[in-house]
Amino acid sequence: MMAVARRTLFRGWVLLAYMVIFAPVVMIVTISFFQQEIVSFPPDGLTLRWYWNAWQRPEFARGFVSSLQIAALATLIGVPIGTAAALALVRSPLPGRGAFNSLLLGPLAVPGVVCGAALYMFYVRAENFLDQDITATLGGLIAAHTLLTIPWTVRLVAASLQGLDRAAEEAAANLGARPFTVFRRITLPMMRPGIVAASMFSFIQSFENLDLTMLLVGPGRSTLPVAMLSYLEFRIDPTLAAVATVQILLVGILMAVTDRFVKLSRVI
C-alpha cells in the first residue's frame, strides 16, 4: 500500500513539474487564437487573424529571414571551430588547457547585454580603423552569433569526445589505417551525435538570441526576436503570440528531425 501511495505521489510531482514547465508554452499557443485584442478569459471567439497580421507585417518576414540566415551561417562557422577546439582540449597534451576551456566557455557566464555592449564598442572602433561598416551588417551579426555558438559546441562535442572509446581508434590503426584515415573513418563518425546536437543548439541559440543582438542591429537589418520586441513597444495584441507559436513549432520540428538522426536524450 505504502509503495503504491508513494508512487502515486511521485507521479503527481512529476506531472506538476511538467505543468509548470509547459504552462507558458500552452498559454502562448492558446492566446494566439483569441479573438479580442486585449487578452482576457474567456475568449470572445477563436480566430487566425493574428497569424494573418504577422504574415502581413514586413518586419516579421524580414526578421525571420535574417534570423534564419544568421543562425545557419553562424552555426556553419561556429561548429567546426568549436569542434576543433574541443578536439584540442580533450586530446592534445596542451599546457594550460583548463584556462583555454574557461576562456571558451566564458561567453556562457557573461550576460548577453554585456557581451553585446562590448562587441558594439569593438565594432565601432574597428569600423573607424578599417573604414568599413560592421554594426548592423549581416557579417557583423554573423560574427557576433558565431561567438554564441562556440561555447555550446565546445561543451557538447568535448562531452561526446570524453565518452568515446579510444580503443576503436587504436583498432583502426592496428588494421592499417593512417592517422588521418582513422580520424575521417572512425573518430568523426563516432563524434557525430555530439556534433549534431551542437549544431542544433547553436542554431537555436542564435535564432532566439535577443540581448546580445539588440545592441548590434540597425535600421533595415533586424532579427525576428528584435522585431518582436520593437512591435511590443507599441502594441500588445496576440500577433506576438502567433509569431511565437510559429517559432515554437519550428524549433519543435528541428528537434524532432535531429532526434531521428541522433537520440537527443543520449547527448543532452
| Binding residues vs another protein (CB under 8 A) | 165, 167-168, 170-178, 181, 185-186, 189-190, 192
Taking the complex as a whole, how short is the minimal distance between the CB of residue 85 and another protein, in angstroms? Answer: 23
Joined grid coordinates for residue 12: 503527481
Taking the complex as a whole, how short is the minimal distance between the CB of residue 162 and another protein, in angstroms? Answer: 15
Q: Which DSSP string do the residues of 72-131 spell out, in sequence order?
A: HHHHHHHHHHHHHHHHHHHHS--TTHHHHHHHHHHHHHS-HHHHHHHHHHHHHHHHHHHT
Contact (Cβ atoms closer than 8 angstroms) between residue 147 and residue 103: no
Other Cβ atoms within 10 Å of 239 Cβ, number: 24
Taking the complex as a whole, how short is the minimal distance between the CB of residue 166 and another protein, in angstroms? Answer: 9
Cα dihedral value 72, 74, 75, 78, nearest 10: 160
Nearer to another protein, 58 or 176 (CB): 176
Nearer to another protein, 40 or 92 (CB): 92
Taking the complex as a whole, how short is the minimal distance between the CB of residue 102 and another protein, in angstroms? Answer: 28
Strand partners, 46: 34
Nearer to another protein, 37 or 170 (CB): 170
Nearer to another protein, 119 or 157 (CB): 157
Taking the complex as a whole, how short is the minimal distance between the CB of residue 192 and another protein, in angstroms? Answer: 7
Nearer to another protein, 172 or 200 (CB): 172
236: nearest Cα among 39, 53, 24: 39
